[in-house]
Structure 1
Amino acid sequence: MTPTIATALVLALTLAHHASLASAAGHRVIIVGAGMSGISAGKRLSEAGITDLLILEATDHVGGRMRKRNFGGVNVEMGANWVEGVNGGKMNPIWPLVNSTLKLRNFRSDFDGLAENVYKERGGVYDRAYVQKRLHRSNEVEEGGAKLSAKLRPSGQDDMSILTMQRLNNHLPNGPASPVDMILDYFKHDYEFAEPPRVTSLQNVVPLATFRDYVYFVADRRGYEAIVHHLAGQYLEADKSGNIVVREISHSGSGVAVKTEDDKVYKADYVMVSTSVGVLQSDLIQFKPRLPAWKILSIYQFDMAVYTKIFVKFPRKFWPEGKGREFFLYASSRRGYYGVWRRQRSPGDRHRRGVEADRAAARQPDQGGDRGVLGEDVPDATDILVPRWWSDRFYRGTFSNWPIGVNRYEYDQLRAPVGRVYFSGEHTSEHYNGYVHGAYLSGIDSADILIKCAHKRMCKHHIPGKFE
Structure 2
Amino acid sequence: MKPSQLLLVILSILVASGVCREQYKIVIVGAGAAGIATATKLLENGIDDILVLEAESRIGGRINTVNFHGCNVDLGAEWVGGEVNNVVYETLKDRNLLYLLTRDVFPEKFYLSSRQMISEKLSKELFDAVFAAFDINTGTGPHNSTGSVIQQRYRENIIKKFKAGDGDMDIFIWAEDFLRHFFLFAKGSFSWYDNAYTSDHETCPGYQNYGWKNHGYGKFLDVLIRKYPNPSRQLPFFEKLLVDKEVTKITVNDDHIVINCSDNSHYKANHVVFTTSIGVLKENHKKLFSPKLPIYKQLAIERIGIGAVIKVFLKYEHEWWGNSSGFNFIWTEKDRISSRTEFPEGPENKYGQSWITEIYNVIVIPNSRILLVVFTGEMIPVIEKLDDQIVTNGIKFTLKKFLGHLYKIMEPQTMIRSNWYHNPHFRGTYSFSSINSTGEDVKNLMAPIKNAEGCPIILFAGEATSPLHHSSAHGAVESGFREAERLINIYKN
> Following TM superposition, by how much is the alpha carbon of 1:119 offset from its aligned partner in structure 2, in angstroms?
1.1
> Following TM superposition, by how much is the alpha carbon of 1:453 offset from its aligned partner in structure 2, in angstroms?
4.3
Determine which of 196, 213, 216 is the counterpart of 2:210.
216
What letter corresponds to residue 245 of structure 1 in structure 2?
E
Q: Contact 2:22–2:267 at 8 Å: present in 1 too?
A: no
Shift in CA distance, 435/396, structure 1 to aligned 2, threshold 3 Å: same
- The aligned counterpart of 1:162 is 146
Q: Contact 1:306–1:390 at 8 Å: present in 2 too?
A: yes
Q: Is 1:403 matched with 2:443?
A: no
- The aligned counterpart of 1:83 is 80
Shift in CA distance, 288/160, structure 1 to aligned 2, threshold 3 Å: same
- The aligned counterpart of 2:41 is 44
> Following TM superposition, by how much is the alpha carbon of 1:272 offset from its aligned partner in structure 2, in angstroms?
0.5
- The aligned counterpart of 2:268 is 267
What letter corresponds to residue 119 of structure 2 in structure 1?
D
Q: For residues 241 and 428 of structure 2, what CA distance do their matches in structure 1 show?
A: 28
Q: Secondary structure of 2:148's partner?
A: helix
> Following TM superposition, by how much is the alpha carbon of 1:301 offset from its aligned partner in structure 2, in angstroms?
1.1
Q: Is 1:204 matched with 2:204?
A: no
- The aligned counterpart of 2:8 is none
Q: Is 1:123 matched with 2:154?
A: no
TM superposition score normalised by structure 1: 0.79
What are the Cα deviations for residues 354-410 of structure 1, in whole angstroms up to 9, with x where unaligned? Answer: 211122234452423231232242122221222111111111111112212533211
Shift in CA distance, 124/385, structure 1 to aligned 2, threshold 3 Å: farther
Shift in CA distance, 104/383, structure 1 to aligned 2, threshold 3 Å: farther
Q: Contact 2:301–2:445 at 8 Å: present in 1 too?
A: yes
Shift in CA distance, 92/109, structure 1 to aligned 2, threshold 3 Å: same
Matches within 5 A, 1:277-292: 277-283=278-284, 286-292=288-294
- The aligned counterpart of 2:466 is 429
Quote the RMSD (CA, aligned, Å): 3.0
What letter corresponds to residue 312 of structure 1 in structure 2?
L
Matches within 5 A, 1:21-420: 26-86=23-83, 90-98=84-92, 101=96, 105-111=100-106, 114=108, 117-123=109-115, 125-142=117-134, 146=137, 149=138, 154=140, 156=141, 158-166=142-150, 169=153, 171=155, 178-187=173-182, 189-195=183-189, 196-204=191-199, 208-210=202-204, 212-221=206-215, 223-232=216-225, 233-238=234-239, 243-283=244-284, 286-321=288-323, 325-333=324-332, 334=336, 337-345=358-366, 351-360=367-376, 361=380, 362-363=383-384, 364=386, 365-367=391-393, 368-369=396-397, 370-376=399-405, 377-419=408-450, 420=457
Shift in CA distance, 101/65, structure 1 to aligned 2, threshold 3 Å: farther
What letter corresponds to residue 180 of structure 1 in structure 2?
A
> Following TM superposition, by how much is the alpha carbon of 1:338 offset from its aligned partner in structure 2, in angstroms?
1.2
What are the Cα deviations for residues 426-462 of structure 1, in whole angstroms up to 9, with x where unaligned? Answer: 0101111111110110111222334444544xxxxxx
Q: For residues 122 and 78 of structure 1, what CA distance do their matches in structure 2 show?
A: 31
What letter corresponds to residue 444 of structure 2 in structure 1?
Q
Q: Contact 1:400–1:433 at 8 Å: present in 2 too?
A: yes
Q: Contact 2:328–2:361 at 8 Å: present in 1 too?
A: yes
Q: For residues 479 and 24 of structure 2, what CA distance do their matches in structure 1 show?
A: 22
Q: Contact 1:426–1:442 at 8 Å: present in 2 too?
A: yes
Structure 1's consecutive aligned runs of 4 or more residues displaced over 6 angstroms after TM superposition are 21-25, 173-177
Q: Contact 2:21–2:266 at 8 Å: present in 1 too?
A: no
Instruction: Give aligned-pair identity as a percent.
Output: 22
Q: Contact 1:62–1:225 at 8 Å: present in 2 too?
A: no
> Following TM superposition, by how much is the alpha carbon of 1:423 offset from its aligned partner in structure 2, in angstroms?
0.8
> Following TM superposition, by how much is the alpha carbon of 1:104 offset from its aligned partner in structure 2, in angstroms?
6.3
Shift in CA distance, 261/170, structure 1 to aligned 2, threshold 3 Å: closer
Q: Secondary structure of 1:380's partner?
A: coil
> Following TM superposition, by how much is the alpha carbon of 1:123 offset from its aligned partner in structure 2, in angstroms?
2.7
Q: For residues 473 and 118 of structure 2, what CA distance do their matches in structure 1 show?
A: 35
Q: For residues 343 and 169 of structure 1, what CA distance do their matches in structure 2 show?
A: 30
Tell me which moved more, 45-54 or 274-283.
Answer: 45-54
Q: Contact 1:304–1:401 at 8 Å: present in 2 too?
A: yes
Q: For residues 128 and 296 of structure 1, what CA distance do their matches in structure 2 show?
A: 51
Q: Contact 2:103–2:210 at 8 Å: present in 1 too?
A: yes
Q: Contact 1:97–1:227 at 8 Å: present in 2 too?
A: no
Shift in CA distance, 96/292, structure 1 to aligned 2, threshold 3 Å: closer
Q: Secondary structure of 2:248's partner?
A: strand
Q: Contact 1:163–1:198 at 8 Å: present in 2 too?
A: yes
Q: For residues 294 and 240 of structure 1, what CA distance do their matches in structure 2 show?
A: 32
Q: Contact 2:313–2:373 at 8 Å: present in 1 too?
A: yes
Number of residue pairs matched? 411
Q: Secondary structure of 1:282's partner?
A: helix
Q: For residues 206 and 90 of structure 2, what CA distance do their matches in structure 1 show?
A: 16
Shift in CA distance, 166/356, structure 1 to aligned 2, threshold 3 Å: closer
Q: For residues 176 and 429 of structure 1, what CA distance do their matches in structure 2 show?
A: 39
> Following TM superposition, by how much is the alpha carbon of 1:211 offset from its aligned partner in structure 2, in angstroms?
5.1
Shift in CA distance, 103/136, structure 1 to aligned 2, threshold 3 Å: closer
> Following TM superposition, by how much is the alpha carbon of 1:24 offset from its aligned partner in structure 2, in angstroms?
6.6
Q: For residues 154 and 73 of structure 2, what CA distance do their matches in structure 1 show?
A: 41
TM superposition score normalised by structure 2: 0.75
Shift in CA distance, 165/42, structure 1 to aligned 2, threshold 3 Å: same
Shift in CA distance, 176/55, structure 1 to aligned 2, threshold 3 Å: farther
Q: For residues 468 and 307 of structure 2, what CA distance do their matches in structure 1 show?
A: 17
Q: For residues 205 and 296 of structure 1, what CA distance do their matches in structure 2 show?
A: 20
Q: For residues 45 and 423 of structure 2, what CA distance do their matches in structure 1 show?
A: 34
Q: Contact 1:257–1:265 at 8 Å: present in 2 too?
A: yes
Q: For residues 242 and 130 of structure 2, what CA distance do their matches in structure 1 show?
A: 53
Q: Which has the larger radius of gyration?
A: 2
